[in-house]
A = this chain, B = another copy of it.
Amino acid sequence: MADLIQPKVLKGFRDFLPQDEILRADLQEKLTRTYRAYGFVPIDTPVLEYTEILLRKSNGETEKQVFRFEDNGGRDVAMRFDLTVPFARYTAEHREELYFPFKRYHIAKVWRGEKPQAGRYREFVQCDFDTVGSDSATADFETLALMKAALKEIGVEKITIHVNHRGIFNRFLEKIGASEKSEDVLRIVDKIAKVGEDEVLKELTEVLGSENSARQITQYIKPKSSWDETLTHIESLAGGESEDTKRMKDIHEMMKASGIEETYVLDPSITRGLDYYTGVVYETFLNDLPSIGSVCSGGRYDNLAGLYMKDKVPGVGASIGLDRLIAGLNELGLINAKGSYLDAEIFNTEESLAIHYQKVAGELRQKDISVEVFPDCIKMNRQYNVTEKKGMKWGIIISKEQSDKNLLTLKNLKTREQFIDLTVDEAALKIKD
A residues apposed to B, CB below 8 Å: 2, 4-11, 13-18, 21-22, 24-25, 36-39, 41-50, 52-53, 56, 64, 67, 69-73, 75, 77, 79, 89-90, 92-94, 97-101, 103-104, 109, 111, 113, 123, 131, 134, 136-139, 141-142, 145, 149, 250, 253-254, 257-260, 305, 307-310, 339-342, 345, 348, 354-359, 361-362, 365, 370-376, 385-386, 389-390
Contacts and interface: CB of A to CB of B under 8 A. Distances in A.
Contacts of A98: 17
Contacts of A305: 7
B149 A365 contact: yes
A307 B21 contact: no
Contact of A50 (B10, B67, B141, B359): B10
A45 B49 CA distance: 22
Contacts of A11: 73
24 contacts: A2-B307, A4-B308, A7-B53, A7-B93, A7-B305, A9-B46, A9-B49, A10-B48, A10-B49, A15-B43, A15-B45, A17-B97, A18-B43, A21-B43, A36-B370, A39-B341, A41-B340, A41-B390, A47-B109, A103-B372, A138-B358, A142-B375, A258-B358, A259-B362
A141 B372 contact: no
A24 to B, nearest CB: 7
A45 B9 contact: yes
A37 B361 CA distance: 11
Contacts of A99: 385-386, 389
A46 B14 contact: yes
User: Which residue, A75, A90, A341, A390, has most C-beta atoms of chain B within 10 A?
Assistant: A341
A362 to B, nearest CB: 4
A36 B109 CA distance: 23
Nearest to A356: B257
A422 to B, nearest CB: 19
A355 B253 contact: yes
Contacts of A77: 10
Contacts of A359: 257-258
Contacts of A38: 370, 372
A384 to B, nearest CB: 11
Contacts of A24: 44
Nearest to A139: B375
A334 to B, nearest CB: 21
A370 B39 contact: yes
Given A5-B308, A41-B339, A258-B362, 20 more contacts: A15-B46, A15-B90, A16-B45, A18-B41, A21-B42, A21-B43, A36-B342, A39-B340, A41-B340, A41-B390, A69-B70, A101-B386, A131-B375, A136-B354, A137-B354, A142-B358, A257-B356, A257-B359, A258-B358, A258-B361
